[in-house]
Amino acid sequence: MKERFSGYELVESIRGGEVSSEELVLELLERIERSDLNCYITVCGDAALEAARRADRAVRENDRKALRKRLLGVPVAVKDCISTKGIQTTCASKILCGYVPPFDATVVRALKDEGAVILGKTNMDEFCMGSTTETSYFGPTRNPHDKSRVPGGSSGGSAAAVAAGETVLALGTDTGGSIRCPAAFCGVVGLKPTYGLVSRYGLIAYANSLEQIGPITQSVLDAALLLDVIAVEDPKDATQVKGVRRSFFEELRTLAASWEKEGVAKLKLRVGVPREFVEGVDTGVEKAFWAAVERLKELGADVGEISFRSMRFALAAYYVIAMSEASSNLARYDGLRYGLRLEKDEDWHTTFSKIRGKGFGEEVKRRIILGTFALSAGYYGRYYLKALKVRTLVRHDFDEAFKRFDVLATPTMPFVAFKLGERIKDPLSLYLADVNTVPINLAGVPSISVPCGLSDGLPVGLQLIGRHFDEATLLKAALAFEMAWKD
């Protein structure tokens, strides 16, 4: 079988009996077994094969209901902070080792309802806190393009698995760039939907007001297909916005077919380039980015520059908000009800402190402490409330930008994937790496990273940003660029 598979084409091949889901899953399981990338924490071999056999049986029996399922027999990897019934879910942390959720997250239930095969749970930075997948209790994931380098994070396992052909589709989560960063570093497509489009029910929270579940795939069409599947309306999630458009794939596939037949159509969009997002990026990344902008111009886009005055405050505001919410969210992990438990119990305060001291990694402890400080008496107004005001300014800048432009374009990351261990001892350096991605989460707008070339032989990502709930325009722009870039 070939190294990589297209999800939207594969499902048609499975439905037509041209490809066996069981054989495909066996091939992927063998790849995972041979791999030294460490993309997975848990591999669901037996359950995946059983689901694949059910899909093949439905095809043989011409089960019309099953044949209508949009991901029939297609393997999907799930980031290990998303609850999966009967499958260990650890958030890559020692404190949750052995925890098996009694329920599926809404997105996982949606995958199963559409016939997907859950291949396994992917590696990540512990509790999503990191940009390299090096903070995982289960060891770092390696970049398929260069095994001495990081894959990005925190959804590094999902992105590396897609890039290495160890899954067809994958789910990640994005709190400050955790889908787009690894997508850029691994040379795949990563989409952060608008906050409130995809249900967060069953997502183990890091920072509730910032995070979203989204697709990591080989192509924009696959991202649209996976988004259609997971963006179901869910009464269990009060943060989800109901009644907005949630279907994009069919329109994109029609456009793609038309463009393939007639040549990529002119992209009649206004594209803005926020200059602050380009300043200071590595020379190779900047060169690849401006080449991508020129390609957008060739497609007919009207490109102009814009300034974001709030940009210099956004990164600091993001980390104050994210760490404050993490401090609150992670207070529930005491080892008394689930997860890590010490052999000997002492008084409550001692037991609680020892469990958290042994169960959490250094980066998680650092963020809990900083978040607790920001929320403490005397500092709440000085840090947290100011950060919320900056968040309002960031959103205002995006609102103003979208009065002039349909889509914004920036480099996804300021540099390409760096060496394992190179920055892990310098937290500030790692936090600065998120400078181009965190403003999107503060504003809640959708954003996608698509490959746009190489620098020093390593992938560079182009980040496209859209209006709230305007994934249709964003995906159209990304698809046009992807098709033109590959020609």
Please list the active-site residues. 79, 154, 178
| Beta-bridge partner residues of 77 | 120, 170
Residue type, 365: K
Q: Which two tokens stand for residue 83?
A: 């609850």
Report the alpha-carbon distance of residue 221 to residue 126 in Å, rounded. 30
Q: How far is residue 42 from each of residues 92, 165, 230, 459, measured CA to CA in Å?
A: 10, 17, 22, 27
Interior/surface letters 85-116, b for 16+ CB within 10 angstroms, e for the rest: eebbbbbbbbbbbebebeebbbbbbbbbebbb
Neighbours of 50 (CB within 10 A): 13
Residue ranges with strand state E in 152-228: 169-174, 189-192, 212-217
- The alpha carbons of the chain give a radius of gyration, in whole angstroms, of 21
Quick one: which of 21, 25, 487 has its CA closest to 263? 487
Which conformational region is residue 219 in: left (phi greater than 0), alpha (psi within -120 to 50 degrees), or beta? beta
Q: Which two tokens stand for residue 64?
A: 């019309």
Helix (H) or strand (E) holding 462: strand 458-465
